[in-house]
Amino acid sequence: MSMSQSTRARKSENEDLLDSIFDDRNIEKLGDKLSNVIFRSVNRCLENKTIIDKLGDSLSDKICSAVMQSFQTKLDSLTNEISSVKADQVILQQKVEKIEASIAVISRPNTEITNSIRDISSLKRQYDNLDRQSRRDNLIINGLTPLSYSEVGHSSSNQGNIDEISMSQSTNVTVELSVMEFCSSVLKIDVVPTDISVAHRLAPRHTAAQSNTTSSVIVKFTNRKIRDKIYAARKNLKGHVPRIFINEHLSSETATLFKIARDLAKQKKISSTWTYNGLLFAKLSDLPTTRPIRIDRRSDLPQ
């Protein structure tokens, strides 16, 4: 047999052997045997502590590496987000600083206005106090009947500060006599000429309901004790005919508030109201625990 024939013969034998090995029945048997071999090998490996330790170390390293890689990825992402937030924060801070600077510029005039308003309010309070003090010794007597026509002839149309009246004309002696007579006969208070600095009858006021005239007398006293005594005695005029009223010489603002307060008292919205030393007071309720309050502005009274 030649060499080529021998080679072909061996090749044919090998193919026949492979065909027999990979026959369906042999493959199933081979698979079973291979499974058993692998199972026994794995069991032997699991029973070998050295192999288990090496396998654990290998798995531990791989797991740690995977975890660290994932953590590093998330950390890098978070770092980038923080950097972005910081950049936005810097921009926002710059905008806030610009707004604060604008507010400071805008509020500067407002501060000046506020200070000016405060100064004006302070000056007004000082003026009101001085005005009230200048009227402190004055009283206005409404409804006092003149003793003679000469009083009416000398009436003044100026109803302002009595000091302004006294500068333009001397006191009317007849008016002084009327005041002293009224105090003596009606109020039972002795008044001498030296107790009065100046007295004038103001221009009569014509009322729509009456054809006759009502007039007022403004008196500046030199003796404050006499003045206060006369003002306190006004309560004795209740029921007097003709009706006579004694009032303090109030500033225009206080007089307006006093009128409002009297109207509220008539409407039973407050208990009572009065003036003392040019200041306005009111008692808002009839309750015994209610204390009088000082009225300086309209908001101090009920609506």
242-275 CB burial, b ≥16 within 10 A, e <16: eebebbbbbbeebeebbeebeebbeeeebeebeb
Query: CA-CA distance, 200 to 120, in Å (whole number)?
Result: 34
pLDDT at 12 over 70: no
Residue 45: per-residue pLDDT: 67
Query: CA-CA distance, 164 to 141, in Å (whole number)?
Result: 18
pLDDT at 81 over 80: yes
Q: What is the mean pLDDT of the chain?
A: 79
Lookup: tokens for 94: 């710059």
pLDDT at 213 over 70: no
pLDDT at 166 over 70: no
pLDDT (average), residues 159-187: 71
Q: How far is CA 293 from CA 122, 131, 299, in A?
A: 22, 21, 13
Instruction: Identify the three-state secondary structure at position 59.
Output: helix
Q: List, for residues 231-288, the tens digit of each pLDDT value.
A: 999 999 988 888 999 999 999 899 999 999 999 999 999 999 999 999 999 999 999 8
pLDDT at 3 over 80: no
pLDDT at 219 over 90: yes
Residue 211: per-residue pLDDT: 44
Q: What global pTM score does this model have?
A: 0.56
pLDDT at 67 over 70: yes
Q: How far is CA 11 from CA 23, 112, 136, 168, 183, in A?
A: 18, 115, 146, 157, 162
Q: What is the DSSP string of 88-125?
A: HHHHHHHHHHHHHHHHHHHHHHHHHHHHHHHHHHHHHH
Residue with the bigger pLDDT between 120 and 196: it is 196
In this structure, of 17-31, 74-88, 113-127, the range with the lowest mean pLDDT score is: 17-31
Instruction: Identify the three-state secondary structure at position 182.
Output: helix
